[in-house]
Amino acid sequence: MRYNMNIKAIFLFIFSVSAMSLLQANNQYEESGCSSQEHHGEFNVGEIALHHIADANVFSIGPFQIPLPCILYAPGYGWDVFMSSKFKPDFVGHGDGHVVYNRYVLHGGMVRRIAGDDFPMGEVNVSGFVHREELVEGKKKDAYYACIEDELIPLDSKSTADGGLFGGGITSYYDFSLTKNVVSMMLMFIFLSWLFLSISRSYTAREGKSPKGAQSLFEPIIVFLRDEVAIPFLGHHWERYFPLLLSLFFFILSLNLFGQIPFLGNANVTGNLAVTMALALIAFLVTNLNGNKHYWSHLFLAPGVPAFVKPILIPVEVLGMFIKPMTLMLRLFANITAGHIVMVVFVGLIFIFGKSGESLGGTAGAAVGSTILTMFMMAIELIVAFVQAFVFTILTASYIGAATEEAHH
């Protein structure tokens, strides 16, 4: 009982500090404008939600920012490898650096680069950041600025693998850093390796005996996946694809659950389009590389279909080949991201009703309401974490099954 009380006290403490840092961050946005800049201190819950689901170059445990290694490359300037503590962000804060290092800055936990060519290399002090929407050629675009010696210096868009060609803005640098998401994936990789190696060891050590410990937790799950997913969809060659299915299931499940632990990074890994795209690409490749003659002939020749339907059916089938992994990618991304956004928005309700600390009654009322709503959503998200991992696995199995099925007519 006393042990429980201690845990509660620790959680209460971390939660209060986190809530205070959210409030502080909100005030910082107000003060961060340079003197020439009009202030926009409105509490923008959408902006905060997007910041919280994004990847970051710092690992935040509660309000504390743990620096991570940055590996950056800018064409013409070469590689830069350093820890993100080089930007001197506040240890208790929101990941805004106080120093420009080799033209890189840390804003909202993320590395950005100063645009243009006439900024000096090395360390320069930065007093704050400004983010506003600007009209560029009739379209609204997010513009980011660093305040350096009371001057607004424009920043590049976030780094993307395509250099910003497919939207997202042209960038002058590539970010290969070990970000929060990468570190979370590595942690889960180590955890799962340790867990399953120890389980497999106990199977050899305790052969013929009843399962014990972690064994008895995971055996029903694996048997369920074998009997309900692998064998019905893949038939007699289920053993060939079962390791892939199990890896997908446990990788997605562990990352879904890890992202749900409050104050421990809250890494939105499976809610990151790049991660789900890689997973969907694996499903796509395995499906199509193992597709047999029967599968391809159904795709391109559509036997047994009237000739006048074929020009419609074949393009639809071929498109479907790409749409299937696309929906795999989007389903996981949308479900997990939506869950994370809803959680932040519910906490943000406290600040909306409390008018950022001005109205105490509003704060207290909304705090009670939002705690109940957040607990309800957490319970739902716990189910979603399992369902989405299961759905990804069962759909991958059904696609592979459809591609490797033998002709039966």
Residue 113 is inside which H or E element, if any? strand 110-113
Q: What is the distance, to the nearest Å, from the Cα of residue 391 to the centroid of all Cα atoms in its chain?
A: 18
What distance in Å separates the CA atoms of residue 241 and residue 251, rounded to the nearest whole number? 16
Binding piece for other proteins, criterion CB under 8 A, among 28-36, 145-153, 281-289, 387-395: 387-395
For residues 104 and 333, which CB has a smaller minimum distance to other proteins in the complex? 333
Q: Which residues ranging from 246 to 305 are in contact with other proteins (CB under 8 A)?
A: none
Query: Which residues on adjacent β-strands are paired with residue 107?
Result: 110
Interface map 26-65 toward other proteins (x if CB under 8 A):
----------------------------------------
Which one, 7 or 383, has the nearer CB to other proteins?
383
Task: For residue 143, give the amino acid letter.
Answer: A
Residue given tokens 């590539």 in the structure block: 174
Closer CB to other proteins, 2 or 139, in the complex: 139
> Of 10, 214, 285, 323, which one interacts with other proteins (CB under 8 A)?
323
Q: What is the C-alpha to C-alpha distance for residues 318 and 327, in angstroms, rounded to an integer?
A: 15
Closest Cα partner for 106 from 8, 179, 193? Answer: 179
Residue 398 in contact with other proteins, rule: CB under 8 A: yes
d(CA 158, CA 171): 7
Q: Select the residue interacting with other proteins from 334, 377, 378, 382 (CB under 8 A).
A: 334
Q: Is 330 in the site for other proteins (CB under 8 A)?
A: yes
Smallest distance, other proteins to C-beta of residue 336, A: 13
Nearer to other proteins, 1 or 165 (CB): 165
User: Which range, of 79-87, 122-130, 367-375, 391-399, touches other proteins by CB under 8 A?
Assistant: 391-399
Confirm or reject binding of residue 226 to other proteins (CB under 8 A).
Answer: no
Whether 255 and 269 have beta carbons less than 8 Å apart is answered as yes
CB of 241 to other proteins, least distance (A): 17
Neighbouring C-beta atoms of residue 184, cutoff 10 Å? 23
Applying CB under 8 A, the span of 2-10, 41-49, 101-109, 394-402 interacting with other proteins comes to 394-402
How many residues of this chain interact with other proteins, rule: CB under 8 A? 14
What does 181-250 look like in DSSP terms, one character per residue? HHHHHHHHHHHHHHHHHHHHHHHHHTTTSPP-THHHHHHHHHHHHIIIIIHHHHGGGHHHHHHHHHHHHH
The piece of 59-67, 247-255, 294-302, 328-336 that touches other proteins (CB under 8 A) is 328-336
Residue closer to other proteins (CB basis): 226 or 331: 331
Check if the beta carbon of residue 206 is closer than 8 Å to that of residue 212.
yes
Residue 75 CB, nearest approach to other proteins (Å): 29
Contact call for residue 319 and other proteins (CB under 8 A)? no
Among 390, 400, 401, 404, binds other proteins (CB under 8 A): 390
Q: State both tokens at 268.
A: 């939105």
Cα(57)–Cα(262) distance, integer angstroms:
19
In whole angstroms, what is the distance from residue 118 CA to residue 157 CA?
Answer: 18
- Measured from the CB atom, is 366 or 394 closer to other proteins? 394
19 forms part of the interface with other proteins (CB under 8 A): no
- Name 73's bridge partners: 79, 174
Q: Which of these segments, 120-128, 282-290, 360-368, 389-397, binds other proteins (CB under 8 A)? A: 389-397
The residue type at 349 = L
Q: Which of 10, 309, 387, 407 binds other proteins (CB under 8 A)?
A: 387
Q: Looking at the DSSP assignment, which residues form a beta bridge with residue 264?
A: 61
Minimum separation from the CB atom of position 334 to other proteins (A): 6
Distance in Å, CB of 159 to other proteins, minimum: 20
Distances (CA, A) of 200 to 92, 186, 195, 245: 42, 21, 9, 17
> What is the binding site for other proteins (CB under 8 A)?
228-229, 323, 326-327, 330-331, 334, 387, 390-391, 394-395, 398
